[in-house]
Chains A and B, each alone.
Chain A
Amino acid sequence: MNFDGRKYVIITFMLLVGVIYTVRIFYMQVIDDTWTLRAQEIAEKRQEITPPRGVMFDRKGRKIVSNRTYYNLMICENDIKHLDTAAFAKLIGWTKPEIRNRIYQIKKGEGTYTNPQNGKVTSNYQSIRKYPFIKELTLEEISKIAPHLEDFKGFTEQVTSMRNYPFASGANILGYLSEATREEIQQDRFYKPGNNIGRSGLERFYEKELRGIKGIKYIVTSAMNNAIESYADGKYDTMARQAPPLRLGMDMVIQAYGEKLMRNKKGCIVAIEPSTGEILSMVSAPSFDPNLLVGRRNISLNYPKLATDPNMPLFPRPLQAEYPPGSIFKLVQALIALQEGVITPESAFPCDKSVVGCHPGHNARNVAEGVQYSCNPYFYAVTRRIIQQKVKKGLYADAEYGLNKWFDYMQSFGLGKSLEADVSGQRPGVIPNAAYYDKWYGHHRWAFSTIRSISIGQGEVKLTPLQMANIAAIIANKGWFYTPHFVRSIGKKGALPPYRVKHRTKVNPMHFAPVIEGMRRVVNEGGGTARSARLDNIIICGKTGTVQNPHGEDHSVFIAFAPMDHPKIAIAVFVENSGFGGTWAAPIASLMIEKYLTKKIKDKAKEKRILDAKLSNIKELPQAIIAPVQE
């Protein structure tokens, strides 16, 4: 038989394979980009370079938040050769079991991967990769270790940066950083495991402005993850860019002084520049050194201590503590009443102690005297005129009408709602309206007599210290305010847009004069409740308050602004459990004003009295491990 024809079968097979392979490879290489993407995934690594965070300056140009270089001691198990554990332990000051334990921790911390097909469990840990063995070593620490690392193959140093707070103050304002959580990493692809994110305060509010732009370096890597060369000679690489600095309206020296004055006390100080709404100082006492929460080591050591401290140093009192305002509230009542026309500056009300208690020895003949003496019956009468305007038929409907009108005024003062300052976690306080009381008592089942305690800032009314300070700023400005804020400029741009909008209250500027006169007398005239706040050369206008506290000693509160004619500072001081407002809050405010306006204190005795006062039993807070660097 002749089998020559069979060669065509073989040739057909060969050509078929050749054609199929050619078509297949054409598809893979030219048409389908799946494999190109996969190749990039395999061989080209994006190396992200995190820039140092943006720094912050205070209003006087002092660098108050900076970055400091730290070092991680990295371990690469594959590179380790004949490790002399004892010598290494001695070098880093650990024990041998601690080293073994740490290596075990690193391996365990990487977790495992379970192959869904065959159920094989493998560790994510790779002995060829570098892992941080000790994180966040200071220059002093690494400089003791680094020269000897040659003898310990497999251990290398890596540079990293962390926050540094040259002034050990303002922790409640500045906030702190900690590593981004898994949820945060999922939400925002900017973050990678190990990246820091602002956890509170300005660090959190201005996270996007501070974090900067990550640099991206494309490198060709091997299966061992070693960088081989930069991809396409760095054509697609981008530089990491540090965010522009934040310039704060805060004065760090005043802030530090405030924290010093509030030592061994609980409470807060909020100082605002009335003309700009910039917050000059915001003390939350007890305060702590922001360097306590820098880096993993510090956080793990100090955070639990701070969080479990019964005096709650982490609680941002100026923003979140809602206190009844006490007598300082009378200022707003007078302003509303004047605007509503239910009283005149010359209205007089007797000090009728049968309606509400008061201290003896006065009868207020006009608004200024009412403020000066802080006469409770006077403001009882004033507020009744606001609430019960006799416009609507029936006592209840009239009270409902009056209260809602009052509520609108309060809202225009930024009360009963969050002020929206540039720091997260502010509380709105409480300003009741008709609906609020309807819920308590039922519709048309309450009148002024039911809710009268609001007239002297007690009862349902609650304000945050920030709102109290803002009231002082509004009065200093005679009726308007910028929303209080910390950051006056971001790089070359100004403050964020919401802080450039002037808010006007519903009270006409002309009505402020008698109230301001009353505030002047409070500090500067005989019979005023805050004579202790008086300064020789600066006219302070203020108002004391004593907040009844059913749980213990009354709270002392004082709001003020100065100088009277061209106000440069508006301030609220709140001292918990310290009794009468004139005793503690007023002198503290006075010292703050004097320090801010004249940079020095004349009355050393007054200062000493405040510094020595132990009004609360405050536990000694830990010291920062890493001493801050002055810059």
Chain B
Amino acid sequence: MRKNDSIIAQLDWPLFITFIVLLAFGVSTVYSVAYNPEHPNIFSFEEKYGKQMMWLGVALFLGLIVFLIDSDIYRKFAFPIYGFTLVLLVIVLFMPAINGAHAWIGVAGMGIQPAEFSKIATGLLLAKYISELSVKQQTISNVVGASMILLVPMALILKQPDAGTFVVFTSFLFVMYREGLTFDPIILSVINSFPGIKMKQTWVGSHFIPILFVAVILSVVTLLLSNVEINLFFFKASGYMGVIVTLIILALVAYLFVRQFGSKRDHSRAGVIILIGLILGSALSFSVGASFSSLAPHQKVRIELFLGLKEDPNGEDYNRNRAMAAVGSGGLTGKGYNKASVSSVESNHVPESETDFIFCPYAEEWGFIGVAVLISLYMFMLLRIIKIAERQRAAFNRIYAYCVAMILFYHFAINIGMDIGLAPVIGIPLPFFSYGGSSMMSFSVMMFILLKLDSQRKDVLR
């Protein structure tokens, strides 16, 4: 091996350092939130921070192993790994339920959550499957095949039930989208079954995933604002009218942006797309808002509770209300390390504040400055992973990198979103932060595999 082929020389240090910094932030937050003055040592294994340190050690050890093993095995053994996790996902259903879910397999007094590891396995197999497809990808069988790789573990996870991980699996749809595997062939075959129509592709079909994503976000925002009275310059309106106004403003900005920087050919095309998008978006927002307003109060409450939009501080919305209070009370500079009064484990106002709600004590203790640093780190990490993905020679590596980016993005967006009232309360961990061996190990291994694949990218011939 040449010297510059060593893992140290080829490692993507920006990503690796960001990853290590986030791990350090995470462990320090667990230490702060679960701090017990009787065991001040961070290595006290009676306490959660001691255990988390142990998991961190295990994760780093696994990372070392990953660094030492040739990266080729992930592609070669993607299917056995996937199969193994499926077996675990089946076994876990026969395990006793903890907190109402069959999510844990007990191993010598410790529990692991196979669902956490199934994300890696699914990512690996999806990368292998898509990378080995022929040039003519967009066939129904290919789309169905890729979808099946997702649907089998999703079905097993839903059976546990674990809604959070189930939702995270939809992140793979973005990976498929990036690789050109969309539901367009299915839509086309339906359209073309009508006599006299012969279409090669539909714009909506090929961008189906992001459009769906935008539509869902738009609907949720509309619902969020539907009970709010707002002042629009001259007249009062229901909150969802504000969404439409915002869409119009966004469309104008986007069009001006295209006019400024796009080529002449793009102008008319972008203009049409923006206009259609604006009309569809406004129509969606209007219909959701108007139909929601016309619902009977008790139906409204049900939907609001389902979406977690309802303020019921001591009842259904207990968790979110307390989480938001913890975050919101952080102020600009925070209450100081180990000073969280709402979300410390000891005070227990925010349940699960060392696992799913760990962003709360972090935001409470470090304030907006800390939050800005954290979000910047995550953003940097996500964009760096995409940069890494795009520089890969091997499609397998690229697709796997996208899987990692999208899984991390989902966890980041949903975990923090539920603490600030922008996402439904779904219990999923914040990567590298939340207390828990399975998530710590799975996210770390996922990252180490990516780093290893990237370090060997030049070994792969196109």
Contacts and interface: CB of A to CB of B under 8 A. Distances in A.
Interface of A: 1, 3-4, 6-7, 9-11, 13-15, 17-18, 20-22, 24-26, 28-30, 32, 34-36, 38-44, 115, 117-118, 120, 220-224, 228, 231
B328 A222 contact: no
Q: Nearest 6 CB-CB pairs, A to B?
A: A35-B328, A39-B329, A39-B325, A38-B325, A3-B180, A28-B328
Interface string B328-355: 1111100000000110001111000000
Interface residues of B, number: 57
Contacts of A36: 328-329, 331
Nearest to A14: B382
Contacts of A118: 315
A34 B178 CA distance: 41
Contact of B329 (A3, A24, A40): A40
Nearest to A39: B329
Interface string B362-380: 0110011001100100110
Interface centre among B301, B321, B332, B347 (most CB of A within 10 A): B347
Interface stretch (B22-30, B85-93, B412-420): B412-420
A14 B329 CA distance: 26
A148 to B, nearest CB: 30
Contacts of A42: 322, 325, 342, 349
Contact of A117 (B315, B322, B371, B378): B315
A223 B326 CA distance: 13
Contacts of B422: 20-21, 24
B405 to A, nearest CB: 8
A115 B313 CA distance: 11
B341 A7 contact: no
Nearest to B324: A35
A1 B180 contact: yes
A41 B310 CA distance: 19
Nearest to B318: A223
A7 B390 contact: yes
Contact of B378 (A7, A9, A18, A228): A18
A30 B368 contact: yes
Contacts of A14: 379, 382-383, 386, 409
A43 B326 CA distance: 10
B123 to A, nearest CB: 15
B386 A222 contact: no
Contact of A29 (B315, B322, B371): B371
Contact of B375 (A18, A30, A35, A228): A18
A100 B348 CA distance: 32
Interface of B: 138, 174, 177-180, 207, 210, 213, 301, 305, 310, 312-313, 315-316, 321-322, 324-332, 341-342, 346-349, 363-364, 367-368, 371-372, 375, 378-379, 382-383, 386, 389-390, 402, 405-406, 409, 412-413, 416-417, 420, 422
11 contacts: A3-B178, A9-B177, A9-B210, A13-B210, A14-B379, A24-B420, A29-B328, A29-B331, A35-B327, A35-B328, A38-B329
B417 A21 contact: yes
B413 A29 contact: no
B375 A29 contact: no
Main SS at interface, chain B: helix
Contacts of B348: 222-224
Contact of B386 (A7, A22, A41): A7
Contacts of A3: 178-180
Given A7-B178, A13-B210, A220 B347 contact: yes
Contacts of B321: 38
Contacts of A39: 325-326, 328-329, 341-342, 364
Contacts of B178: 3, 6-7, 10
A9 B206 CA distance: 13
A436 B207 CA distance: 96
B379 A28 contact: no
Contact of B330 (A29, A44, A222, A224): A29
A59 to B, nearest CB: 53
A29 B342 contact: no
Contacts of B363: 25, 29
Contacts of B372: 22
B379 A15 contact: yes
Nearest to A34: B328
A578 to B, nearest CB: 66
B349 A43 contact: yes
A117 B302 CA distance: 9
A7 B389 CA distance: 10
Contacts of B329: 29, 35-36, 38-40
A38 B315 CA distance: 15
B416 A21 contact: yes
A583 B409 CA distance: 102
A223 B368 contact: no
Interface centre among A3, A41, A115, A221 (most CB of B within 10 A): A3
Nearest to A115: B315
A43 B328 contact: no
A11 B331 contact: no
Contacts of B210: 9, 13
Contacts of B207: 9
A491 B364 CA distance: 47
Contacts of A18: 375, 378-379
Interface centre among B326, B341, B409 (most CB of A within 10 A): B341
B235 to A, nearest CB: 24
Contacts of B180: 1, 3, 6
B379 A13 contact: no
A228 B346 contact: yes
Interface centre among A9, A13, A39 (most CB of B within 10 A): A39
Contacts of A221: 347
Nearest to A41: B325
Given A15-B379, A21-B420, A117 B347 contact: no
B171 to A, nearest CB: 10
Contacts of B386: 7, 10-11, 14
Contact of A6 (B177, B342, B416): B177
Interface centre among B177, B328, B368, B420 (most CB of A within 10 A): B328
A9 B213 CA distance: 11
Contacts of B378: 18
A29 B367 contact: yes
A231 B329 CA distance: 14
A21 to B, nearest CB: 6
A36 B332 CA distance: 12
A427 B367 CA distance: 64
Contacts of B174: 10
A123 B135 CA distance: 67
Contacts of A9: 177, 207, 210
A346 B332 CA distance: 93
B146 to A, nearest CB: 14
Contact of A43 (B315, B342, B375, B379): B342
A38 B416 contact: no
